[in-house]
Amino acid sequence: MRNHKEISDFIRDLYGAPEGLVPLHAPVFQGNEKKYVNECIDSTFVSSVGKFVDDFELAMAKFTGAKKAVACVNGTNALHLSLVLMGVEHGMEVLTQSLTFIATANAISYCGANPIFIDVDIDTMGMSPLALKNWLTENSVLNAQNQRINKATGKIIGACVPMHTFGLPCRIDELVEICEEFGIPLVEDAAESLGSYYKEQHTGTFGKIGVISFNGNKVITTGGGGILLFNDEELATRAKYLSTQAKVPHPWKFYHDHIGYNYRMPNINAAIGLAQLEQLPGFIASKREIAKRYEHFFKALKADSEGPVFVPEIGGAQSNYWLNAILFSNQEERDAFLDDSNASKIITRPAWELMHTLPMFKSASRGPLSNSENIAGRLVNIPSSPITQKQ
């Protein structure tokens, strides 16, 4: 039994939008954005040097509990740089999940490495600790140099990159423990999970490096941007050095002693980010209230019909609910709802195409991916913008 109109009516009522477009996730600019941008313009420091970059990095480190933060042009660059810092090189392999945004797999490819796709847990939609341990136990060994390699390919496994999918924390502490057992550095793709916590610790601070995105559709935005989170101050110093073209500090001399990257966040973007960060607690509170209302609605709907189910945070987790997700009983029902909702100007989206189904990654190593395939065929993201008092 289809109940698409009932769902659409609830979403419109939730957002106070009886007609017109209901976006999937729209940015909210109601703070000091214009003030700080004008200050930035007046200072003439609009590029990658300026006080707003420094202030934004300090504020992000304080908010997340990381020791240091290094801002980048975007989240994809931040992921790439994090893998470079972990020593991932051409010919290596990197463990990640197939249910992820393309940036995760692309960043691995930028290093000349290949992904190994591991399944996710149904309840978190993030990498499964059991699937990771099973794959490593069955498919990896140590070589003569005491490096962890893929038995099938003979290639070094240079890192593991789990993702906190749609802002829902995965079982990151278990993944860290497994990676430490097998001698593999872990980088957290926390791109979507600013303001999410697992066991009272902010996502992105469990692994060697964590990466957060500030794209226009994220919980807060800098227009485009990303940030690396560190608990190792020396590693953070190296990240800043590599992200500024590996320039050796000097009052006037241009000397570079390593291949570097032009990855530093511009000051004008950081100005927007600092103003957005000031409003983050209110955004999170609103998004968690929206998620609670969705959860209650879909529980009631499910009791009366074969409607979809809402995907909540697991025990021990506190999610930012970046994008709320529902699971239909099958792909036919999912596609019908996607057609109906988008036709009525309520923007909904399916999960990304699984990475192992894309032409450039079809030959990549992988474990069984039954949970990933199950989710990808049934999931829909529904409108999740924060609702503020001024709206």
* DSSP per-residue letters across 251-320: SS---B-S---B-BPPHHHHHHHHHHHHHHHHHHHHHHHHHHHHHHHHHHHHHHSS--EE-PPPTTEE--
Per-residue pLDDT tens over the stretch 346-389: 999 999 999 999 999 999 999 999 999 999 999 999 999 999 86
The whole-angstrom separation of Cα 109 and Cα 112 is 5
List, in sequence order, every residue forming a beta bridge with 189; answer none if it has no partner: 163, 211
For 213-258, write each residue's pLDDT tens digit: 999 999 999 999 999 999 999 999 999 999 999 999 888 999 999 9
Contacts (Cβ under 8 Å, ≥6 apart) of 248: 255, 256, 257
Distances (CA, A) of 230 to 86, 127, 204, 213, 299: 12, 21, 9, 15, 39
Write down which residue in 277, 312, 330 finishes a domain. 277
Residue ending a domain, choose from 249, 277, 305: 277
Reported confidence tier of residue 21, pLDDT bands at 50, 70, 90: very high
For 108-133, the pLDDT digits (tens) are 999 999 999 999 999 999 999 999 99
Q: Are residues 67 and 80 both part of a single domain?
A: yes
Percent of the chain with pLDDT over 70: 99
Say which CATH number the domain at 299 has. 3.90.1150.10
Q: What is the structure's pLDDT at 144?
A: 94
Same structural domain for residues 14 and 85?
A: no
pTM: 0.95
Mean pLDDT for all residues in the chain: 96
Residue 373 belongs to domain spanning: 4-28+280-359+361-382
The conformation of residue 44, written as its DSSP 8-state character, comes to T
Give domain status of residue 267, yes or no: yes
Are residues 205 and 299 part of one domain?
A: no
Instruction: Report residue 85 CA to chain centroid gap.
Output: 19
Neighbours of 241 (CB within 10 A): 18
Instruction: Write the DSSP symbol of residue 198.
Output: E
240-241-245-249 Cα dihedral, nearest 10 degrees? 120
Q: For 306-339, give the secondary structure using H, E and C.
A: CCCEECCCCCCEECCCCCEEEECCCHHHHHHHHH
Convert the pLDDT of each residue in 54-64 to its tens digit. Answer: 999 999 999 99
Judgement on whether residues 106 and 203 belong to the same structural domain of the protein: yes
Same-domain pairing of 224 and 328: no
Single-letter amino acid, residue 382: I
Say how many Å lie between the first and final Cα of the chain, rounded.
35
Q: Which residue has the tokens 């980048």?
A: 72
| CA-closest candidate to residue 171, choices 159, 148, 191, 188 | 188
Specify whether 350 is located in the same domain as 335: yes
Which range has the worst mean pLDDT, 30-44, 186-200, 243-257, 371-385? 243-257
pLDDT at 390: 60
Which of 246, 277, 308 is the last residue in one of the domains? Answer: 277
Kindly indicate the confidence band of residue 77, based on its pLDDT and cuts at 50, 70 and 90: very high
Q: How confident is the model at residue 320 (pLDDT cuts 50, 70, 90)?
A: very high
**C-alpha closest to that of 133 among 87, 80, 171:** 171
232 and 331 share one domain: no
pLDDT value at 283 more than 90: yes
**Does residue 321 carry a pLDDT above 60?**
yes
Q: What is the number of domains present in the chain?
A: 2
Helix/strand/coil for 229: strand
